[in-house]
Amino acid sequence: MDYWNEVIKLALKAAKKGEVPVGAILVYKNRIIARGYNKREKSNNILGHAEIQVIKKANKCLHCWKLDDCELYVSLKPCSMCEEIIKQSRLKNVYYLLEKPTQKKEYYKTEFIKDNNYDLENEYKAIMTNFFKKMR
């Protein structure tokens, strides 16, 4: 099967529904196990990106959050949010057709501010340390 033709079909499906035309498939052992396209507008959900859709479907299909034997084919280079989720999913490879336009900038308005409550920080650090000690 030609994976790219499937990706393009999914991107066109997204476009017909008024979504940014991004399509994605996830392949495991040379078989497509998940298909997806952008659904952010329809679902009113920031997580409606094609890449997230296929990762969630693959997790369900394989009963595992680790997708290290899988490959992602996506029409547009993933955004920074999707890149991080892809890394956390441990995908083997990601193939994409098109870079984002150079004039397209990701919009960030949120500031991340560390609270300097040292007592709570130490308490939480102990919780994390104990948790991972038990796991090993």
**Are 11 and 22 in contact, with CB atoms under 8 Å apart?**
yes
List, in sequence order, every beta strand (DSSP E) within the chain: 23-28, 31-37, 70-76, 93-98
Weakest-pLDDT range from 45-54, 62-71, 88-97, 107-116: 107-116
Q: pLDDT tens digit string along 48-82?
A: 999 999 999 999 999 999 999 999 999 999 998 99
Tokens of 41: 């507008």
For residue 115, give both structure tokens.
């609270």
Three-state SS at 70: strand
Q: What is this structure's pTM?
A: 0.83
Does position 100 have pLDDT exceeding 90, yes or no? no
The chain-wide mean pLDDT, for the chain, equals 91
Inform me whether the pLDDT recorded for 106 exceeds 70: no
Q: How confident is the model at residue 131 (pLDDT cuts 50, 70, 90)?
A: very high
Backbone angles phi, psi at 84, to 5 degrees: -65, -40
Catalytic residue list: 51
Q: Which pLDDT does position 55 carry in this prediction?
A: 98
